[in-house]
Amino acid sequence: MRRLVPFAALLVMLLVGLSCNPQPPVEALPVLGEVQDFTLTNQNGKDYGMNDLRGRIWVADFFFSNCPGPCPRMSTLMGDIQRATSDIDELRIVSITVDPERDTPDAMKAYGERYGAIDGRWYFLTGPQSLLHRLASQDFNLFDVDGSLQHSTRFALIDRQGRIRGFYSTGENGSYARIPEDARKLLAEATAAR
């Protein structure tokens, strides 16, 4: 019986010690830029922009529906991200065209359906080339929308305040696989700030 008392005391001390040493805080994602106000047209022909995205976490990319190169892979990966973050109600996926002449709302809607886009969760946006250029070159600091249809293949993660918190490569062994985890970090960060 005497041997149990020291063991019980040791167990209590261990448990108290664990409760006094919480896990270290999760490292915050850096702020890499900020997306300014914008309003574009979505795949349903309705206005959509920062007024709809402010207060939400979102993932963005640039694409065009007739792309024979990287866009099909990128959209497949976005579909994977959509499924992997299905438990994050506030997360939105935003694909912005670099081909506003051909990417009408109907064309974007058909494109989204091919990749399993969930309406109300994954938005495809088009608008004036000048605004698309500003978003791509100034806000995201990725490339120029100049009619050449050249565009970045990186994804961006944006927080509730419209701040860019990460860029992710989409190539083989790309960093895109970290997006669900990083989105959850932003969610935890926002919850802790309340």
Position 14 confidence tier, pLDDT thresholds 50, 70, 90: very low
Domain limits, the chain: 37-192
Contact 109, 123 (CB under 8 A): no
Are 57 and 156 in contact by the 8 Å Cβ rule? The answer is: no
User: In this structure, which amino acid lies at residue 191?
Assistant: T
Where residue 147 falls among pLDDT bands split at 50, 70, 90?
Answer: low
pLDDT digits (tens, 9 = 90+) for 20-34: 445 445 578 999 999
| CB neighbourhood size of 181 (10 A) | 11
Write down the CATH number for the domain with range 37-192.
Answer: 3.40.30.10
Q: Is 181's pLDDT higher than 50?
A: yes
The residue-averaged pLDDT of 162-184 equals 93
**Torsions phi, psi for 52 (to 5 deg):** -85, -25
Annotate 107-154 with DSSP letters as a single string: HHHHHHHHTTPPTTTEEEEE--HHHHHIIIIIIS-S---SSS------
Compute the mean pLDDT over every residue in the chain, rounded to the nearest whole number: 87
* Range 148-158 average pLDDT: 86
- Report which of 150, 77, 58, 85 is spatially closest to residue 115, judged by C-alpha positions: 77
Which has more confidence, 5 or 149?
149
Q: What is the pLDDT of residues 32-68, one digit of tens each?
A: 999 999 999 999 999 999 999 999 999 999 999 999 8
The DSSP letter of residue 69 is S
